[in-house]
Structure 1
Amino acid sequence: MSAPAPRLPALPVTFRPTRTRIVLLTVGAVMCTVLITVTLLLERLSAPERVSFIFTALLFFGILALLSRPKVVADENGVTVVNLTRTRRLAWPEILRVNLRPGDPWVFLDLSDGTSLPVLGIQPGIARAHAISDARALRALAESRGTRPDAD
């Protein structure tokens, strides 16, 4: 590889799409506030209509908060991958390869059981350079702490 080897970050370290998270939570909070304010200001709405509008605003915010949840936490013992609805704990030896290929929406981990795990906590959407840097750092950690089958 022509890219310089990344320095290993101090553990524990958390990788998350910070800009995406800020955008989602800000839009969710603003939209929720606007919908609730308009609902309370409209005098023509009945109580059940107000409740349904407020419920819809809170549901909208909840969905955007769920979309902002993904992260990856690496520590001495392994990696915790938090995706939208699932959290998975992996020991370092379980991670064979960290992949972020051109066009991938997020990082994928190739695991020792033959499966691949999407890692939504590192995604090149808004901050591509930051995601590439995070993917390289996670790859360097996995290579230095895991057992590589080709290292014999």
Structure 2
Amino acid sequence: MSDLPTLPVTFRPGHTRVILLTAGVVMFLVISAIALLLEQLGPGDRLTFIITGAVIFWVLAQLARVKVIADDSGVTVVNIVSRRRLAWAEILRVNLRPGDPWVFLDLSDGTSLPALGIQPGIARQRAVADARTLRALAEAHSGPSALPHEPRS
């Protein structure tokens, strides 16, 4: 297939990432400003506010780190708290059905792995295009397989 992207290629939910990181920064700054502006707070209370803001930012940054990286030897799926490396031959099917929150990879060991790096939440057309591209890459690198029909938009 000639329209395959040059590898390596990274799929990630760009709009969602921007929103999460922006919200994290804003929340950290607002909570820290409140901690510094409230005169009745002692140093320990101020520190607790700032640490709380930092924890909220960290949680949102973890949510924003999701991605799927495809290269010549396989795929790396980075989800919220996990990272998994797959050889192309391990991926039997790439699924993004209507209503799915993200892509699911059906694997040769009989399990299914969610790939949160491709999710139709805010940018549905982009997610559908990314799912089709990942499906085409999987077909090209592991030969013909039982991949399902194209995801519907």
2:34 is the alignment partner of 1:14: no
Matched position secondary structure for 1:45? coil
Please point out which of 120, 124, 135 is paired with 1:139: 135
Aligned to 2:54: 58
Cα distance, 1:41 vs structure 2: 1.5
User: Which aligned segments of 4 or more residues in structure 1 are displaced greater than 3 angstroms?
Assistant: 147-150
Q: Which runs of 5+ in 2 are unaligned?
A: 147-153
Cα distance, 1:43 vs structure 2: 1.1
Question: CA 1:149/1:104 → structure 2, altered by over 3 Å: closer, same or farther?
Answer: closer
Aligned to 2:110: 114
- Residue identity over aligned pairs, in percent, reads 62
Q: Which amino acid aligns with 1:46?
A: G
1:7-65 deviation line (CA, Å, top 9, x unaligned) = 21110000000000000000110110111012111111011111111111001101100
In structure 1, distance between residues paired with 2:124 and 2:18: 16
Please point out which of 87, 90, 94 is paired with 2:86: 90
TM-score, with normalisation over the residues of structure 2?
A: 0.92
In structure 1, distance between residues paired with 2:124 and 2:3: 19
Aligned residues: 146
Aligned to 2:63: 67
